[in-house]
Structure 1
């Protein structure tokens, strides 16, 4: 122990990286279906290592949190602004009710039990499972102009409240959306998910676990053209029009692949490579002839390309509607494999509404993909680089916004650099979705900033809390535990029944997804997806999650501004 103490004091960053490594290792330990998670694990390990009294510069903590919160805003910006429309109004209202009820529960608990600003903010961070509140509240506390020892104690209390309340804060939504609400409402989640998928897919059957949906499987097969083939003598485009969801990708003539265009004719003796959906390919032999192995030594080059949708004309339109109204000349040879929104895979069904900022995963020949890309948006390239001009401007604006102070009912409130960087990130993420030439921050880069920024920030918070954390846990632990359970459960109950009876969100899967998203509860979504067996909850979750991420993060400085009790007073 003495060796570790000397090492960590000689180089404090050793303690930080040890905390992150051990914390994320602890966070992976599974007890039944519950996993603590890397963030909570890092905080708890940080508190343990912090008993050694390791000095870490507070400026490092501020930098990492600013990077984390900017990346969160950047990734959620497209969905947040595109969700602000009449179609999503009831889901937006549901998310805001959840956030507002959560805030009210925290304030009432703080006033009733005499919690100081730090404990109240920690109660919100853990009970509502919003890690970003640790940073925004801690930043707001630092701006109060109090004595340094009081500031440090209250910032420690934020971490303590989070640590005590987080475990049930994560478990509570899982229990509510997968067991309590379905039991009370007498819903069979799996069957309801199947019904929703059937409605969204225009009546196509939803398959059971262990089966696969052929509508989403693309294959390539080779056929020999004979005199009896219907395709003989027809152009490639004419064939594609008749096949609709399959396309001629290559023609092998006398052992060689020939140049292919829409006007190329298929001749007797050719071998034709056709790519398409399985249900189309099953009948393709009637059109072409006998299926044969590909000619030796020849290959068919295709590309898997992810395109960010920015075309306003496609925003809000359903997948099936776009397919039916786009002519074959435009869409032939290109197949939509999946749709991702805010990093989550959406159910690829006919009635899925696409939003600007969605990532569309296409497969096809590069020349065909180029044609689609020009009408859809811009591709995500592995070689894409960060636009540091806009990144720097975004961080600068975020810091400036955080310096603004205003009064709410006479209470001075500042959202701080964390809240400012969140708003700045939202704006530049949205800007990137509509003007792809500006503000590039590739998914890999933004994911790293988000995950490592939060890990480092929480690790520093835990290390800084040190011995004070154990004292606070002994003094307030049981009270915080019960208050955290109330803050976790009450907003879900209020929001679910308000959404169901007032906002008329009565589809079971959408109602449950709104509860999970309104708390930005990723573990609850994962559990719900396991129960549904398909991705139908993701659509409603992404809308409510984007809104909740913003408001819950901003509650940190709001709580610090409204609660007036300081530590020791």
Structure 2
């Protein structure tokens, strides 16, 4: 033990990485279906390791929190700004009402029970499960001009409040969306999800849990053209029009592969490769006749390509509408296989409305994909390298915004570097979605900045709070826990019934997804997805989650500014 103490005090970074490693291991342990999560696990382990009296430069904490919060803003920017329109106004209002109710609950609890600024912010961070509040509130406390001892005490209280309230803050939304609200509304989540999927798909069947479609949705078949084939003498474009969702990909004639154009004519003796949706290949069979094995030497190159949607003309239009209005010359040979929004898979159904910033996955030949790419957006692999010019500018703007101080009803407010970098990240994420030549920050890079930045930040918070945290937990633990229960449950109940009866969000899946998203509750969303058995909750969740992430993060400095009670050092 003495050796461990000496190592950690001599090289504090050993303590930091040990905290992260053990914290994430603890966070993966399951109790039933509940896991604590890596961030909460890191904070708790950090408090324990902090008992060794490890000191880590606070500047490291600030840098990594700024990186984390910028990445959060960058990833949520496209969806956040696209949510600010009339089509999504109800979901936007639903998220804001839930976030604002959470703020009122925290302020009410602080007033009734005499909580200091730090403890109130920790109550918000844990009860509303928004880890970013730890940083934005701690940042705001650091700018109050308090004595170093008092400032450290209140920043410790932020971590204590989070640690005490987080477990039920994470568990409460799971209970609400997967059991309590469906119970009182008499909803069968799986049945409602199947019904919604059928509506979105125009009646297409939905699979039960554990089932999967064994047939690939896209396939290639080779046909021999004979004298009896209806396709003999037809141009490839004419054949594509008849096939609709399948197309001629290659013609093999006299030992050679022809260079295809729309006017290339199919002749008797040709071997023709048709690529398309399985359902359309039956039509191809009736046109061509006998299916054969691929001839030696036939090379048919296909590509899976991810394209970010930036086209204003396609923004807000449904998949079915786009398909029906695009002529065959434009869409032949290109097949949409997946849609992602904010990293989440959406159901690829006819009535799914696409948004700018969506990640569309296509299959087709490189030539066909090149033809449609310019009409849709830009290829993701074109952004494989981080644009450090715009990344540096974005961080600079965020830090400058954090230095601005203003007053609301006479209350001094500063959003701090965390809030500033969040707003800057939102702006640059949106800029990237509409102007793909600027501000590249690949998904893998932004994920790393987000996850590692938060892990380092929370680990340092826990280690720094260690010596004082146990005393604060003993003093406020039980009271804080029950206050956290109230802060967790009340906003969900108020937000749900307001959304259902006032905003008329009455589809069960959409209503429950708005609860999970408005609480920025990833575990609850995972539980809802499991109950639904399909991806129908994703669309509503992404809108409300993006909005809630912004407002909940900004509550940190607002709470510190409104509450005037300081802790006793």
Q: Tell me the TM-score normalized by structure 1.
A: 0.98
Query: Given that residues 214 and 277 in structure 1 are in contact (C-alpha distance below 8 angstroms), is that contact kept between their aligned partners in structure 2?
Result: no
Change in CA separation of 1:432 and 1:68 when aligned onto 2, cut-off 3 Å:
same
Query: Given that residues 243 and 283 in structure 2 are in contact (C-alpha distance below 8 angstroms), is that contact kept between their aligned partners in structure 1?
Result: no
> By how many angstroms is 1:299 displaced?
3.1
RMSD after superposition: 1.4
> By how many angstroms is 1:215 displaced?
9.8
Deviations 1:173-201 (A, max 9, x none): 11100100100000011111111111111
Query: Given that residues 338 and 346 in structure 1 are in contact (C-alpha distance below 8 angstroms), is that contact kept between their aligned partners in structure 2?
Result: yes
Q: Does 1:313 align with 2:313?
A: yes
What residue in structure 2 maps to residue 252 of structure 1? 252
Query: Given that residues 248 and 272 in structure 1 are in contact (C-alpha distance below 8 angstroms), is that contact kept between their aligned partners in structure 2?
Result: yes
Deviations 1:266-324 (A, max 9, x none): 22222222111111123422222222222235332111111111110111101100000
Q: Quote the Cα distance in structure 2 between the aligned partners of 1:281 and 1:195.
A: 28
Map 1:17-416; keep pairs closer than 5 Å: 17-212=17-212, 217-381=217-381, 384-416=384-416
Change in CA separation of 1:215 and 1:202 when aligned onto 2, cut-off 3 Å:
farther
Deviations 1:298-352 (A, max 9, x none): 3321111111111101111011000000101001000001111111111111111
Deviations 1:202-237 (A, max 9, x none): 122222234445898111222222222222222221
Q: Quote the Cα distance in structure 2 between the aligned partners of 1:214 and 1:292.
A: 22
What residue in structure 1 maps to residue 546 of structure 2? 546
Change in CA separation of 1:406 and 1:540 when aligned onto 2, cut-off 3 Å:
same
Q: Does 1:438 align with 2:438?
A: yes
Q: Secondary structure at the match of 1:324?
A: helix
Deviations 1:52-103 (A, max 9, x none): 1111000000000000000000110110001101111111110000000000
> By how many angstroms is 1:469 displaced?
1.0
Q: Quote the Cα distance in structure 2 between the aligned partners of 1:97 and 1:183.
A: 23
Query: Given that residues 122 and 159 in structure 2 are in contact (C-alpha distance below 8 angstroms), is that contact kept between their aligned partners in structure 1?
Result: yes
What residue in structure 1 maps to residue 513 of structure 2? 513
Q: Quote the Cα distance in structure 1 between the aligned partners of 2:101 and 2:494.
A: 8
Q: Secondary structure at the match of 1:299?
A: coil
What residue in structure 2 maps to residue 427 of structure 1? 427
Q: Secondary structure at the match of 2:157?
A: helix
Equivalent pairs counted in the alignment come to 569
Q: Secondary structure at the match of 1:222?
A: strand
Deviations 1:375-394 (A, max 9, x none): 01101007621111111111
Change in CA separation of 1:243 and 1:55 when aligned onto 2, cut-off 3 Å:
same
* Gapped regions of structure 1 (runs ≥ 5): none
Deviations 1:509-537 (A, max 9, x none): 00000000001111111110111111111
Deviations 1:117-162 (A, max 9, x none): 1110010001000010000000001111101111111111111111
Deviations 1:26-53 (A, max 9, x none): 1111111111111111111111111111
* Greater mean alpha carbon deviation, residues 554-563 or residues 29-38: 29-38
Deviations 1:354-399 (A, max 9, x none): 1111111111011111111110110100762111111111111101
Change in CA separation of 1:99 and 1:79 when aligned onto 2, cut-off 3 Å:
same
Query: Given that residues 97 and 495 in structure 1 are in contact (C-alpha distance below 8 angstroms), is that contact kept between their aligned partners in structure 2?
Result: yes
Q: Secondary structure at the match of 1:96?
A: helix
Q: Secondary structure at the match of 2:125?
A: helix
Query: Given that residues 168 and 485 in structure 1 are in contact (C-alpha distance below 8 angstroms), is that contact kept between their aligned partners in structure 2?
Result: yes
Change in CA separation of 1:81 and 1:488 when aligned onto 2, cut-off 3 Å:
same
Query: Given that residues 75 and 429 in structure 1 are in contact (C-alpha distance below 8 angstroms), is that contact kept between their aligned partners in structure 2?
Result: yes
Q: Secondary structure at the match of 2:313?
A: helix
Q: Secondary structure at the match of 1:470?
A: helix
> By how many angstroms is 1:16 displaced?
1.1
* Greater mean alpha carbon deviation, residues 223-232 or residues 44-53: 223-232
Q: Quote the Cα distance in structure 2 between the aligned partners of 1:135 and 1:210.
A: 41
* Greater mean alpha carbon deviation, residues 377-386 or residues 537-546: 377-386
Query: Given that residues 47 and 466 in structure 2 are in contact (C-alpha distance below 8 angstroms), is that contact kept between their aligned partners in structure 1?
Result: yes
Q: Quote the Cα distance in structure 2 between the aligned partners of 1:488 and 1:121.
A: 14
What residue in structure 2 maps to residue 560 of structure 1? 560
Q: Quote the Cα distance in structure 2 between the aligned partners of 1:528 and 1:435.
A: 35
Q: Quote the Cα distance in structure 1 between the aligned partners of 2:435 and 2:145.
A: 42
Change in CA separation of 1:32 and 1:383 when aligned onto 2, cut-off 3 Å:
same
